[in-house]
Amino acid sequence: MPIHRESQAVLSVLVAAVLAVPALAQEPTAPAPTHPLAPIGQEKPAVPSPRHAGAPKSAAAGGVQPTLLGQYGDWGAYTASPGGKKVCFALAKPTSSETIPPNRSRNPAYMFISSRPAEKVSNEVSIIIGYPFKPNSEATAEVGSTSFVLYTQQDGAWIKNAAEEARMVDAMRAAQTAVIKGVSAHGTKTTDTFSLKGFADAVDRADQECK
């Protein structure tokens, strides 16, 4: 099993904080929907990190409010300081999503490119897909003509081979779209297309803030 750097606590804080930003929330005045594949009344599971499976759970932003550094095309650059540790990240939502069978509802999906200077982590790719992945399954990220394998756990995905992370980010700088494909715990196949318009500028701005 690969070891991923993204801590559960940090990723949970970023997701909760992002959902609190009206420009990014699909329905900013409504509560997050119950997961369609879970029993009624069951809350969407927290996202654990493969690299920190034992990290404490954090389902709320804990008062952390992200600061928008700039909006670049379809990508925003943000900074936040959960637990007093600075995090800078570029973020986008899919520009289109498809499911097979069709019309399966999901929680919002996001792609993060995050840096945490205190942990010497730079430009880490992580994806919140909006449903629990099929256990022990892999997802794929198609960036231009290059495909990357993603490790999955619950509703999070990270690049399986950490050595390819920088190559994936470089590929995203040159490509038009990134297409994420995965399978839910109940067998629903999903395809999420992220526009990469503004990606390079957003990542560069986030990097500049976390130098």
184: containing domain: 64-209
Alpha-carbon gap, residue 77 to 112, rounded angstroms = 10
pTM of the complete model beyond 0.85: no
Sign (positive or negative) of CA dihedral 97, 101, 105, 107: negative
Please write the tens of the pLDDT for every residue from 111-164. 999 998 988 889 999 999 999 999 999 999 999 999 999 999 888 899 999 889
Q: CATH code at 172?
A: 2.60.40.1880
Q: Does any domain span residue 41?
A: no
Q: Does any domain span residue 7?
A: no
- Angle at the Cα of 174 (from 173 to 176), degrees rounded to 5? 95
Q: Does any domain span residue 17?
A: no
Residue 122: both structure tokens together: 């730079």
Alpha-carbon gap, residue 198 to 201, rounded angstroms = 5
Q: Please report which helix (H) or strand (E) contains residue 14, including its range.
A: helix 8-19
Distant-in-sequence, close-in-space partners of 126: CB < 8 Å, separation ≥ 6: 6, 11, 111, 112, 114, 156, 157, 158
Q: Indicate the average pLDDT of the chain.
A: 77
Q: What's the burial of 164, exposed, middle or buried (CB within 10 Å: 0-12/13-18/19+)?
A: middle
Q: DSSP of 126-183, one letter per residue?
A: EEE-SSPBPTT-EEEEEETTEEEEEEEETTEEEESSGGGHHHHHHHHHH-SEEEEEEE
Q: Does any domain span residue 163?
A: yes
Q: Does any domain span residue 132?
A: yes
Please write the tens of the pLDDT for every residue from 98-110. 999 998 888 989 9
Count of the separate structural domains present in the chain: 1
Q: Does any domain span residue 51?
A: no
Q: Does any domain span residue 105?
A: yes
Q: How confident is the model at residue 40 (pLDDT cuts 50, 70, 90)?
A: very low
Q: Give the per-residue pLDDT at 111.
A: 95
- Which is more confident, 59 or 9? 9
Q: Does any domain span residue 134?
A: yes
Q: Give the per-residue pLDDT at 83.
A: 78
